[in-house]
Amino acid sequence: MVRLLPAFLLLVVCWSCVHLLVAASKKKDNEVKELQIGVKFKPKTCEIQAHKGDTIKVHYRGTLVDGTEFDSSYSRGDPIEFKLGAGHVIKGWDQGLLGMCVGEKRKLKIPSKLGYGAQGSPPKIPGGATLIFDTELVSVNGKGGITEESADSEEL
């Protein structure tokens, strides 16, 4: 029986390691390593496109991976306006909105390194959080505008 004790302990240690690895891999399933851009809607014609240096207006809804909403311009009825590529917003936005057409809708999955990083943005965004943004490009350099459909739309 004394001889079986080391083998039993080794088995327990191995089982514990496997359990920890499985738990760690499940936690990382929700983490995004690189920016992911999904086009949800694109107008038939793209007459106005967003480029670095353009002043753009964007409607958005921001959530955590678990679906918790932390911000929404739709709720305020006021899209955000900023200069694209100038560092006025998180890097995931500066990269994820490039080439977008007025009226286009995109879903951005932004890793923490392109969002708020390890520090997060307390109290609503924890450190290391992957961010999900449903976005709609409203205008570029004052051209374009909110259509009736987008003004009334809450769901992207």
List the chain pLDDT tens, one digit each, 156 residues.
Answer: 556 555 555 554 545 544 444 444 444 556 789 999 999 999 999 999 999 999 999 999 999 999 999 999 999 999 999 999 999 999 999 999 999 999 999 999 999 999 999 999 999 999 999 999 999 999 999 998 655 444 444 443
Residue 94 known to be catalytic: no
Residue 80 known to be catalytic: no
Q: Could you give the number of structural domains in the chain?
A: 2
For residues 6 and 49, membership in a common domain is answered with no
In the set 56, 110, 133, 134, the catalytic residue is 133
Residue 54 known to be catalytic: no
For residues 59 and 134, membership in a common domain is answered with yes
In the set 48, 54, 56, 60, the catalytic residue is 60
Length, in residues, of the chain: 156
For residues 121 and 148, membership in a common domain is answered with yes
For residues 83 and 107, membership in a common domain is answered with yes
In the set 90, 110, 125, 132, the catalytic residue is 90
Residue 71 known to be catalytic: yes
Contact 58, 136 (CB under 8 A): yes
**What is the token pair recorded at 49?**
């496109």
For residues 16 and 37, membership in a common domain is answered with no
For residues 115 and 42, membership in a common domain is answered with yes
Coil, strand or helix at 156: coil
CB atoms within 10 A of CB 2: 5
Q: What's the pTM?
A: 0.75
Q: Which domain holds residue 119?
A: 33-152
**What is the token pair recorded at 114?**
């392109």
